[in-house]
Structure 1
Amino acid sequence: MNMISTQAKKALNQQVANYGVLFVKLHNYHWYINGPEFLTLHVKLEELYTWVSEQYDVVAERLLMNHGEPYATLKEYLEHATIEEAKRGLSADEMVESVISDFSQIRKEMLDAIEHLETHDMTVEDDLLAQAKEIEKQIWMLRATLEK
């Protein structure tokens, strides 16, 4: 069985860090959301952090199956993530815009990584592509909630 490339391991670990930060951020927004869209967004944010948790585990396990070492501490996540922690005091719209921005960043990194993977990294490519497709759908849905 071929192991995945160093580039694939690096790309997966980047996503572990991003998903770790995003998981906490989505919880923060879920807890602190308020306003006229509370019921809808409270449920949506829970749906998103549940999905992120599942993908986070898939990515970390893919690394472990291929002798990689996924980041596993908050310190490592914050050092390696390309997205930032949640900020306090945001409006519901600002929270949604923040999630859209994070999802857009993560999706871009996934698609960039796919371009640089080696031929024996097909399973990693499949995972990243499936996640990028779901993220694209979530971005579309979140943008639709911002239209008044």
Structure 2
Amino acid sequence: MTLNILGLDKKKTEDLAGDLNELLANFQIYYQNLRGIHWNIKGKNFFDLHIKFEELYTDANLKVDLVAERVLTLGETPLHTFEDYTSRAKVPVGQNVSKDVKAVELIVNSLTELLKIERQILDKSSEASDEGTNAMMSDFITEQEKTVWMMNAWLENSI
């Protein structure tokens, strides 16, 4: 077994970096969706949602950076083109979303896809003894599960 500079199995960390790049691509689509709904939201919930969407895209932007830096830490190169992102995206693209319910549904659907990817990475990082990636995924999952719960609670009152 060949070890990388972190003392982790090189093959396993290469695979993890590939998975992290998939997560990065999907986070970039999610981030752009959040920017779009922040800009385009209309209706009586505008003020509350406009602020919430800004909070979410600011957080997503931070997570994008954390994921890209983790890829680098593992010795690989993070994806960085729109073509890379769109070709790997599982997160739905929200185009011209301006209605509150549709916007919140887009967030829930996007986070559901991100959580699937993060749970796969969590399992693999545990198997690879990669505590750095494991801790990051655990933190992301905890935060995003709470956001999904909150968004679903909001949707329950809006339908």
TM category, shorter = over 0.9
Shift of 1:146: 1.2
Cα distance 1:38–1:14, how it changes in 2: closer, same or farther (>3 A)? Answer: same
Secondary structure in structure 2 of the residue aligned to 1:63? helix
Which fold has the larger relative contact order, with Cα–Cα distance below 8 Å and residues 6 or more apart in sequence? 1
Mapped partners of 2:130, 2:91: distance in 1: 25
Q: Please tell me the root mean square deviation across aligned C-alpha atoms, in Å.
A: 1.4
- How far apart are the structure 1 equivalents of 2:38 and 2:97? 13
Q: TM-score, normalised by structure 1?
A: 0.93
* Pair 1:100-2:108 in alignment: yes
Which range moved further: 116-125 or 21-30? 116-125
Give me the identity figure in percent.
Answer: 28
Q: Which amino acid in 2 is paired with 1:112?
A: Q
Tell me which residue corresponds to 1:63: 71
How has the CA–CA distance of structure 1 residues 89 and 56 changed in structure 2, closer, same or farther, with 3 Å as cutoff?
A: closer
> Retained in 1: the 8 A contact 2:26–2:89?
yes
Match of 1:119 in 2: 128
Structure 2 segments unaligned to the other structure (5+ residues): 1-5
What letter is aligned with 1:131?
F
Q: Please, which moves more after superposition, 87-96 or 28-37?
A: 87-96
Match of residue 90 from structure 2: 82
For residues 22-37 of structure 1, what are the structure 2 equivalents within 5 Å? Answer: 22-37=30-45
Partner residue in 2 for 1:2: 7
Give the residue type in structure 2 aligned to 1:27.
Answer: R
| CA distance in 2: counterparts of 1:89 and 1:27, whole angstroms | 11
Please list the CA deviations of residues 12-51 of structure 1 after superposition, one character each: whole Å capped at 9, or x if unmatched: 1111101111111100000010111111110000000000
Normalising by the residue count of structure 2, what TM-score does the alignment of the two structures yield? 0.87
Gap regions ≥5 residues in structure 1: none
Query: Which residue is equivalent to 1:20?
Result: 28
Q: Secondary structure at the match of 1:147?
A: helix
